[in-house]
Amino acid sequence: MSANAEEWLKFAGADLRAARLLLADTSVPSRIACFHAHQSAEKALKAALVEESTPF
């Protein structure tokens, strides 16, 4: 895997960890956790695009 794709996956992992932490905190609206989960999915898809040299 290319270094650039790995970097996107690292970003995705950070967003996913944030989503999980936020979801566990009942004082935080779940929509905030969902936002970070969505961001994680987008960044994971970008990693796949970068790996395939597909512009986005």
> For the whole model, what pTM was predicted?
0.90
pLDDT, tens digit, 9 for 90 and up, residues 1-13: 999 999 999 999 9
Could you please report the per-residue DSSP string of 3-51?
A: HHHHHHHHHHHHHHHHHHHHHH-TTS-HHHHHHHHHHHHHHHHHHHHHH
- DSSP letter (8 states) at residue 53: T
Q: Which domain holds residue 18?
A: 3-51
pLDDT at 56 (0 to 100): 83
Look at residue 56 and tell me if it is in a domain: no
Within a domain: 47 = yes
Distance (Å, whole) CA 53 – CA 56: 9
Any domain includes 33? yes
Contact 35, 15 (CB under 8 A): no
Number of separate domains in the chain: 1
